[in-house]
Structure 1
Amino acid sequence: MSVPVLEAVRARRSWSKVTDAAPTHAQLLTLVSAAGRVADHSSLQPWRLIELRGADRERLGRAINKANGDKGSSTKPLRAPLLIAVVASYRKSDKVPRWEQEAVASGVAHVLSLLLDEAGWGVIWRTGHYTRSKAVAKLHGLDKREELLGWLYVGGKPAKARLGRRKGIDARRHLTRLPADAHSIERIDAAADEV
Protein backbone atom coordinates (compact mmCIF):
# COMPACT_ATOMS: atom_id res chain seq x y z
CA MET A 1 0.00 0.00 0.00
CA SER A 2 1.25 3.45 -0.82
CA VAL A 3 2.19 5.25 2.38
CA PRO A 4 0.98 8.65 1.09
CA VAL A 5 -2.49 7.18 0.44
CA LEU A 6 -2.59 5.61 3.90
CA GLU A 7 -1.53 8.87 5.53
CA ALA A 8 -4.04 10.89 3.49
CA VAL A 9 -6.87 8.63 4.63
CA ARG A 10 -5.70 8.73 8.26
CA ALA A 11 -5.49 12.53 8.17
CA ARG A 12 -8.95 13.05 6.63
CA ARG A 13 -11.43 14.98 8.69
CA SER A 14 -14.68 16.82 8.11
CA TRP A 15 -14.44 20.61 7.80
CA SER A 16 -17.64 22.22 9.09
CA LYS A 17 -16.20 25.71 8.53
CA VAL A 18 -14.42 26.67 5.33
CA THR A 19 -13.26 29.83 3.57
CA ASP A 20 -14.71 31.30 0.36
CA ALA A 21 -12.05 29.68 -1.85
CA ALA A 22 -13.17 26.71 -3.95
CA PRO A 23 -11.80 24.42 -6.65
CA THR A 24 -12.54 25.37 -10.25
CA HIS A 25 -14.74 23.33 -12.54
CA ALA A 26 -11.62 22.12 -14.38
CA GLN A 27 -10.02 20.99 -11.12
CA LEU A 28 -13.20 19.14 -10.21
CA LEU A 29 -13.26 17.31 -13.54
CA THR A 30 -9.86 15.78 -12.81
CA LEU A 31 -10.90 14.64 -9.33
CA VAL A 32 -14.30 13.33 -10.44
CA SER A 33 -12.62 11.31 -13.18
CA ALA A 34 -10.44 9.63 -10.56
CA ALA A 35 -13.29 9.16 -8.06
CA GLY A 36 -15.32 7.40 -10.73
CA ARG A 37 -12.88 4.49 -10.59
CA VAL A 38 -14.62 2.95 -7.56
CA ALA A 39 -15.75 -0.67 -7.76
CA ASP A 40 -18.83 -0.70 -9.99
CA HIS A 41 -20.47 -4.04 -10.74
CA SER A 42 -21.26 -4.22 -14.48
CA SER A 43 -19.83 -0.68 -14.92
CA LEU A 44 -23.30 0.84 -14.66
CA GLN A 45 -22.03 4.21 -13.39
CA PRO A 46 -25.23 4.69 -11.33
CA TRP A 47 -24.37 8.16 -10.11
CA ARG A 48 -24.02 11.77 -11.08
CA LEU A 49 -22.84 14.94 -9.39
CA ILE A 50 -24.25 18.46 -9.57
CA GLU A 51 -22.20 21.61 -8.85
CA LEU A 52 -23.96 24.38 -6.92
CA ARG A 53 -22.21 27.74 -6.70
CA GLY A 54 -23.31 31.34 -6.13
CA ALA A 55 -27.06 31.89 -6.49
CA ASP A 56 -27.66 28.14 -6.91
CA ARG A 57 -27.00 27.81 -3.17
CA GLU A 58 -29.69 30.42 -2.44
CA ARG A 59 -32.15 28.52 -4.63
CA LEU A 60 -31.34 25.39 -2.63
CA GLY A 61 -31.94 27.35 0.58
CA ARG A 62 -35.45 28.23 -0.61
CA ALA A 63 -36.15 24.60 -1.59
CA ILE A 64 -34.97 23.38 1.83
CA ASN A 65 -37.28 25.82 3.60
CA LYS A 66 -40.15 24.83 1.33
CA ALA A 67 -39.51 21.17 2.19
CA ASN A 68 -39.59 22.08 5.88
CA GLY A 69 -42.80 24.09 5.47
CA ASP A 70 -40.98 27.35 6.20
CA LYS A 71 -40.89 30.62 4.30
CA GLY A 72 -37.78 32.38 3.12
CA SER A 73 -34.44 30.75 2.52
CA SER A 74 -32.30 28.46 4.67
CA THR A 75 -28.75 29.71 5.11
CA LYS A 76 -27.36 26.17 5.37
CA PRO A 77 -26.22 26.02 1.73
CA LEU A 78 -24.25 29.25 2.23
CA ARG A 79 -21.82 27.54 4.62
CA ALA A 80 -19.49 26.74 1.71
CA PRO A 81 -18.81 28.35 -1.69
CA LEU A 82 -19.25 25.03 -3.52
CA LEU A 83 -21.77 22.28 -2.92
CA ILE A 84 -21.60 19.05 -4.87
CA ALA A 85 -24.90 17.18 -4.88
CA VAL A 86 -24.43 13.41 -4.83
CA VAL A 87 -27.12 11.63 -6.83
CA ALA A 88 -27.73 7.88 -7.02
CA SER A 89 -28.95 7.38 -10.58
CA TYR A 90 -30.29 3.83 -10.63
CA ARG A 91 -29.97 1.73 -13.78
CA LYS A 92 -32.17 -1.18 -14.79
CA SER A 93 -30.22 -4.36 -14.12
CA ASP A 94 -31.03 -8.00 -13.41
CA LYS A 95 -27.57 -8.49 -11.86
CA VAL A 96 -26.99 -5.34 -9.81
CA PRO A 97 -29.58 -4.55 -7.13
CA ARG A 98 -30.53 -1.03 -6.13
CA TRP A 99 -28.60 -1.13 -2.82
CA GLU A 100 -25.41 -2.01 -4.67
CA GLN A 101 -25.88 0.88 -7.07
CA GLU A 102 -26.40 3.25 -4.15
CA ALA A 103 -23.18 1.90 -2.63
CA VAL A 104 -21.34 2.84 -5.84
CA ALA A 105 -22.70 6.41 -5.71
CA SER A 106 -21.70 6.66 -2.03
CA GLY A 107 -18.26 5.28 -2.88
CA VAL A 108 -17.75 7.94 -5.55
CA ALA A 109 -18.72 10.66 -3.08
CA HIS A 110 -16.39 9.33 -0.39
CA VAL A 111 -13.42 8.94 -2.73
CA LEU A 112 -14.08 12.43 -4.11
CA SER A 113 -14.10 13.84 -0.57
CA LEU A 114 -10.72 12.16 0.08
CA LEU A 115 -9.29 13.54 -3.16
CA LEU A 116 -10.56 17.04 -2.39
CA ASP A 117 -9.09 16.87 1.12
CA GLU A 118 -5.74 15.66 -0.21
CA ALA A 119 -5.79 18.53 -2.76
CA GLY A 120 -6.04 20.99 0.13
CA TRP A 121 -9.80 21.65 0.24
CA GLY A 122 -12.03 21.43 3.29
CA VAL A 123 -14.95 19.04 2.80
CA ILE A 124 -17.93 17.79 4.79
CA TRP A 125 -20.72 15.52 3.58
CA ARG A 126 -24.06 16.94 4.72
CA THR A 127 -27.45 15.28 4.53
CA GLY A 128 -30.90 15.91 5.96
CA HIS A 129 -34.45 14.66 5.76
CA TYR A 130 -35.13 17.20 3.01
CA THR A 131 -32.86 15.28 0.61
CA ARG A 132 -35.96 13.14 -0.05
CA SER A 133 -38.36 16.07 -0.49
CA LYS A 134 -40.12 16.89 -3.75
CA ALA A 135 -39.01 20.54 -3.65
CA VAL A 136 -35.32 19.65 -3.35
CA ALA A 137 -35.56 16.84 -5.93
CA LYS A 138 -37.25 19.20 -8.40
CA LEU A 139 -34.55 21.84 -7.91
CA HIS A 140 -31.87 19.28 -8.76
CA GLY A 141 -33.77 18.00 -11.80
CA LEU A 142 -33.99 14.46 -10.44
CA ASP A 143 -36.11 11.96 -12.27
CA LYS A 144 -38.07 9.05 -10.77
CA ARG A 145 -35.07 6.68 -10.84
CA GLU A 146 -32.80 9.05 -8.90
CA GLU A 147 -32.24 9.91 -5.24
CA LEU A 148 -30.23 12.68 -3.64
CA LEU A 149 -27.72 11.30 -1.12
CA GLY A 150 -26.62 14.70 0.20
CA TRP A 151 -24.03 17.32 -0.65
CA LEU A 152 -20.29 17.67 -0.31
CA TYR A 153 -19.73 21.17 1.08
CA VAL A 154 -16.35 22.32 -0.25
CA GLY A 155 -14.20 25.36 0.49
CA GLY A 156 -10.78 26.48 1.61
CA LYS A 157 -9.30 25.14 4.82
CA PRO A 158 -9.12 27.98 7.38
CA ALA A 159 -5.55 28.85 8.41
CA LYS A 160 -6.40 29.01 12.10
CA ALA A 161 -8.59 25.93 12.32
CA ARG A 162 -8.25 23.65 15.32
CA LEU A 163 -6.66 20.54 13.91
CA GLY A 164 -7.85 17.89 16.31
CA ARG A 165 -7.18 14.42 15.01
CA ARG A 166 -10.00 11.93 14.84
CA LYS A 167 -9.58 9.03 17.18
CA GLY A 168 -8.62 5.90 15.29
CA ILE A 169 -10.89 2.91 15.36
CA ASP A 170 -10.08 -0.38 17.05
CA ALA A 171 -9.88 -2.49 13.90
CA ARG A 172 -10.04 -5.72 15.93
CA ARG A 173 -13.65 -4.92 16.79
CA HIS A 174 -14.59 -4.61 13.13
CA LEU A 175 -12.43 -7.23 11.38
CA THR A 176 -13.35 -10.80 12.24
CA ARG A 177 -13.11 -14.28 10.80
CA LEU A 178 -15.97 -16.48 9.69
CA PRO A 179 -16.67 -18.96 12.49
CA ALA A 180 -16.77 -22.64 11.58
CA ASP A 181 -19.19 -23.49 14.40
CA ALA A 182 -20.33 -22.27 17.83
CA HIS A 183 -17.20 -23.70 19.49
CA SER A 184 -15.02 -21.71 17.05
CA ILE A 185 -16.77 -18.47 18.05
CA GLU A 186 -15.68 -19.01 21.66
CA ARG A 187 -12.06 -19.60 20.57
CA ILE A 188 -12.03 -16.49 18.38
CA ASP A 189 -13.40 -14.39 21.25
CA ALA A 190 -10.79 -15.82 23.62
CA ALA A 191 -7.99 -15.16 21.13
CA ALA A 192 -9.17 -11.57 20.65
CA ASP A 193 -9.10 -11.02 24.42
CA GLU A 194 -5.47 -12.20 24.53
CA VAL A 195 -4.35 -9.67 21.89
Structure 2
Amino acid sequence: MDIITAVLTRRSASALGAPAPGDEEFRYLLKGAATAPDHGRLRPWRWILVRGDGLTAVADCLADEDPAADREQLVSSVVRAPLKAMLVFTPHVGHRIPEWEQLAAASTMTYSLMLLLHGRGYSSKWRTGRLCTSEALRVRLGLAEQERLLGALDIGTPDPSAVPSARRAPMDVSDRVAVFG
Protein backbone atom coordinates (compact mmCIF):
# COMPACT_ATOMS: atom_id res chain seq x y z
CA MET A 1 0.00 0.00 0.00
CA ASP A 2 1.46 3.37 -0.94
CA ILE A 3 1.62 6.14 1.64
CA ILE A 4 -1.19 8.35 0.33
CA THR A 5 -3.52 5.34 0.15
CA ALA A 6 -2.64 4.44 3.73
CA VAL A 7 -3.32 7.99 4.91
CA LEU A 8 -6.60 8.32 2.98
CA THR A 9 -7.98 4.88 3.95
CA ARG A 10 -6.91 4.53 7.60
CA ARG A 11 -9.92 4.56 9.89
CA SER A 12 -10.33 3.69 13.55
CA ALA A 13 -12.13 0.41 14.11
CA SER A 14 -13.86 -0.61 17.31
CA ALA A 15 -14.46 -4.26 16.39
CA LEU A 16 -10.99 -5.79 16.56
CA GLY A 17 -10.09 -9.45 16.77
CA ALA A 18 -7.06 -11.66 16.53
CA PRO A 19 -4.48 -11.61 15.28
CA ALA A 20 -2.69 -8.55 16.54
CA PRO A 21 1.01 -8.00 15.92
CA GLY A 22 3.29 -9.99 18.18
CA ASP A 23 5.94 -8.27 20.27
CA GLU A 24 8.65 -8.56 17.60
CA GLU A 25 6.38 -7.28 14.82
CA PHE A 26 5.32 -4.38 17.06
CA ARG A 27 8.98 -3.52 17.67
CA TYR A 28 9.66 -3.70 13.93
CA LEU A 29 6.78 -1.32 13.14
CA LEU A 30 7.86 0.96 15.99
CA LYS A 31 11.31 1.16 14.42
CA GLY A 32 9.64 2.77 11.40
CA ALA A 33 7.33 4.96 13.48
CA ALA A 34 10.28 6.24 15.49
CA THR A 35 11.60 7.99 12.39
CA ALA A 36 8.83 10.59 12.86
CA PRO A 37 10.12 14.10 13.61
CA ASP A 38 11.72 14.19 17.05
CA HIS A 39 13.81 17.31 17.60
CA GLY A 40 16.79 16.25 19.67
CA ARG A 41 16.12 12.54 19.09
CA LEU A 42 14.90 12.26 22.65
CA ARG A 43 12.29 9.52 22.11
CA PRO A 44 10.20 10.96 24.97
CA TRP A 45 7.89 7.97 25.02
CA ARG A 46 7.71 4.28 25.71
CA TRP A 47 5.08 1.62 25.12
CA ILE A 48 3.62 -0.94 27.49
CA LEU A 49 2.06 -3.85 25.59
CA VAL A 50 -0.89 -5.48 27.32
CA ARG A 51 -2.51 -8.76 26.22
CA GLY A 52 -4.54 -11.62 27.66
CA ASP A 53 -4.61 -11.67 31.45
CA GLY A 54 -2.90 -8.28 31.49
CA LEU A 55 -6.03 -6.74 29.93
CA THR A 56 -8.14 -8.17 32.74
CA ALA A 57 -5.64 -6.85 35.30
CA VAL A 58 -5.92 -3.34 33.82
CA ALA A 59 -9.72 -3.56 33.89
CA ASP A 60 -9.70 -4.83 37.49
CA CYS A 61 -7.39 -1.97 38.50
CA LEU A 62 -9.78 0.60 37.00
CA ALA A 63 -12.84 -1.10 38.49
CA ASP A 64 -11.31 -1.33 41.96
CA GLU A 65 -10.60 2.39 41.84
CA ASP A 66 -14.23 3.20 41.00
CA PRO A 67 -16.56 0.72 42.75
CA ALA A 68 -19.62 2.63 41.46
CA ALA A 69 -18.68 1.85 37.86
CA ASP A 70 -20.38 -0.93 35.94
CA ARG A 71 -17.64 -3.56 36.26
CA GLU A 72 -18.87 -5.66 33.34
CA GLN A 73 -18.98 -2.68 30.99
CA LEU A 74 -15.56 -1.53 32.18
CA VAL A 75 -13.99 -4.95 31.63
CA SER A 76 -15.52 -5.26 28.15
CA SER A 77 -14.24 -1.79 27.22
CA VAL A 78 -10.67 -2.74 28.21
CA VAL A 79 -10.56 -6.21 26.66
CA ARG A 80 -12.19 -5.27 23.34
CA ALA A 81 -8.98 -5.82 21.35
CA PRO A 82 -6.30 -8.52 21.56
CA LEU A 83 -3.57 -5.90 22.12
CA LYS A 84 -3.67 -2.66 24.07
CA ALA A 85 -0.49 -0.67 23.47
CA MET A 86 -0.25 1.98 26.18
CA LEU A 87 1.69 5.12 25.33
CA VAL A 88 3.69 6.55 28.21
CA PHE A 89 4.99 10.08 27.72
CA THR A 90 8.45 10.33 29.27
CA PRO A 91 9.48 13.97 28.94
CA HIS A 92 13.05 15.03 29.44
CA VAL A 93 12.36 17.66 32.09
CA GLY A 94 14.57 20.75 31.89
CA HIS A 95 15.90 19.82 28.46
CA ARG A 96 16.51 22.53 25.84
CA ILE A 97 13.74 20.89 23.77
CA PRO A 98 10.53 22.17 25.41
CA GLU A 99 8.02 19.68 26.74
CA TRP A 100 5.35 20.70 24.20
CA GLU A 101 7.73 19.75 21.39
CA GLN A 102 8.48 16.43 23.05
CA LEU A 103 4.72 15.79 23.28
CA ALA A 104 4.39 16.62 19.58
CA ALA A 105 7.12 14.06 18.82
CA ALA A 106 5.29 11.36 20.79
CA SER A 107 2.02 12.20 19.02
CA THR A 108 3.58 12.16 15.56
CA MET A 109 5.28 8.84 16.24
CA THR A 110 1.95 7.38 17.35
CA TYR A 111 0.17 8.42 14.18
CA SER A 112 3.03 7.00 12.12
CA LEU A 113 2.61 3.72 14.00
CA MET A 114 -1.13 3.72 13.25
CA LEU A 115 -0.39 4.14 9.53
CA LEU A 116 2.17 1.34 9.59
CA LEU A 117 -0.29 -0.95 11.38
CA HIS A 118 -2.91 -0.13 8.73
CA GLY A 119 -0.41 -0.86 5.96
CA ARG A 120 0.09 -4.32 7.50
CA GLY A 121 -3.64 -5.08 7.57
CA TYR A 122 -4.21 -4.29 11.25
CA SER A 123 -6.44 -1.62 12.62
CA SER A 124 -6.18 0.51 15.72
CA LYS A 125 -8.23 2.90 17.76
CA TRP A 126 -6.88 5.59 20.05
CA ARG A 127 -8.32 5.40 23.57
CA THR A 128 -8.03 7.89 26.42
CA GLY A 129 -10.41 8.71 29.29
CA ARG A 130 -10.26 6.96 32.63
CA LEU A 131 -7.23 4.98 31.49
CA CYS A 132 -5.15 8.17 31.46
CA THR A 133 -6.34 9.61 34.75
CA SER A 134 -6.25 6.53 36.96
CA GLU A 135 -3.79 6.87 39.82
CA ALA A 136 -4.14 3.16 40.61
CA LEU A 137 -3.15 2.27 37.04
CA ARG A 138 -0.17 4.66 37.19
CA VAL A 139 1.04 2.80 40.27
CA ARG A 140 0.29 -0.65 38.79
CA LEU A 141 2.24 0.20 35.62
CA GLY A 142 5.14 1.62 37.61
CA LEU A 143 5.10 5.06 36.02
CA ALA A 144 7.71 7.51 37.26
CA GLU A 145 6.55 10.83 38.72
CA GLN A 146 7.21 12.82 35.52
CA GLU A 147 5.62 10.21 33.22
CA ARG A 148 2.05 10.39 31.92
CA LEU A 149 -0.12 7.80 30.29
CA LEU A 150 -1.30 9.63 27.16
CA GLY A 151 -3.61 6.90 25.92
CA ALA A 152 -3.66 3.47 24.39
CA LEU A 153 -4.00 1.99 20.96
CA ASP A 154 -6.43 -0.90 20.77
CA ILE A 155 -4.87 -3.03 18.03
CA GLY A 156 -6.10 -6.07 16.16
CA THR A 157 -7.51 -7.31 12.90
CA PRO A 158 -10.61 -5.42 11.81
CA ASP A 159 -13.89 -7.26 11.43
CA PRO A 160 -14.63 -6.72 7.72
CA SER A 161 -18.33 -6.28 8.41
CA ALA A 162 -17.68 -3.54 10.98
CA VAL A 163 -14.91 -1.52 9.31
CA PRO A 164 -15.89 2.08 8.63
CA SER A 165 -15.99 2.85 4.93
CA ALA A 166 -12.57 3.83 3.67
CA ARG A 167 -14.28 5.03 0.51
CA ARG A 168 -15.87 8.05 2.10
CA ALA A 169 -14.51 11.26 0.66
CA PRO A 170 -11.59 12.84 2.50
CA MET A 171 -12.55 15.82 4.60
CA ASP A 172 -12.60 19.19 2.84
CA VAL A 173 -9.73 21.12 4.39
CA SER A 174 -9.58 24.02 1.96
CA ASP A 175 -10.69 26.41 4.72
CA ARG A 176 -7.75 25.24 6.88
CA VAL A 177 -5.10 26.67 4.55
CA ALA A 178 -4.10 30.31 4.22
CA VAL A 179 -1.48 31.63 1.86
CA PHE A 180 0.72 34.41 3.18
CA GLY A 181 2.93 36.57 1.01
User: TM-score when scaled to structure 1?
Assistant: 0.83
The residue number in structure 1 matching 2:112 is 111
Aligned-partner residue type, residue 17 of structure 2 = T
Stretches of structure 1 lacking an aligned partner (at least 5 in a row): 181-195
> Counterparts of 2:80 and 2:130 in 1: how far apart (Å)?
18
Q: Which has the larger radius of gyration?
A: 1
Shift of 1:20: 2.5
Superposed, 1:4-83 pairs within 5 Å as: 4-70=2-68, 72=71, 74-75=74-75, 76-83=77-84
**Which of these residues, 159, 176, 179, is aligned with residue 177 of structure 1?**
179
- Give 1:171 shift: 2.2
Task: Provide the residue aligned with 1:89 in structure 2.
Answer: 90
Stretch moving more, 66-75 or 42-51: 66-75
For normalisation by structure 2, the TM-score amounts to 0.89
**CA distance in 2: counterparts of 1:25 and 1:132, whole angstroms:** 26
Change (3 A) 1:66 1:38: same
Instruction: Structure 2: give runs of 5+ residues left out of the alignment.
Output: none
Percentage identity across aligned positions? 30
- Paired residues, number: 177
Q: 1:25 to 1:123 in 2, by over 3 A?
A: same
| Structure 1: 4+ residue segments shifted above 6 A | none
Distance change >3 Å, CA 101–CA 121, structure 1 → 2: same
The 8 Å contact of residues 80 and 155 in structure 1, kept in 2 or not, is answered as yes
Q: RMSD in angstroms over aligned alpha carbons?
A: 1.9
Higher relative contact order, chain-length normalized (CA < 8 Å, sep 6+): 2
Structure 2 CA distance for partners of 1:163 and 1:169, relative to 1, 3 Å: closer
Is the CA contact (8 Å cut-off) linking 2:122 and 2:158 kept in structure 1?
yes
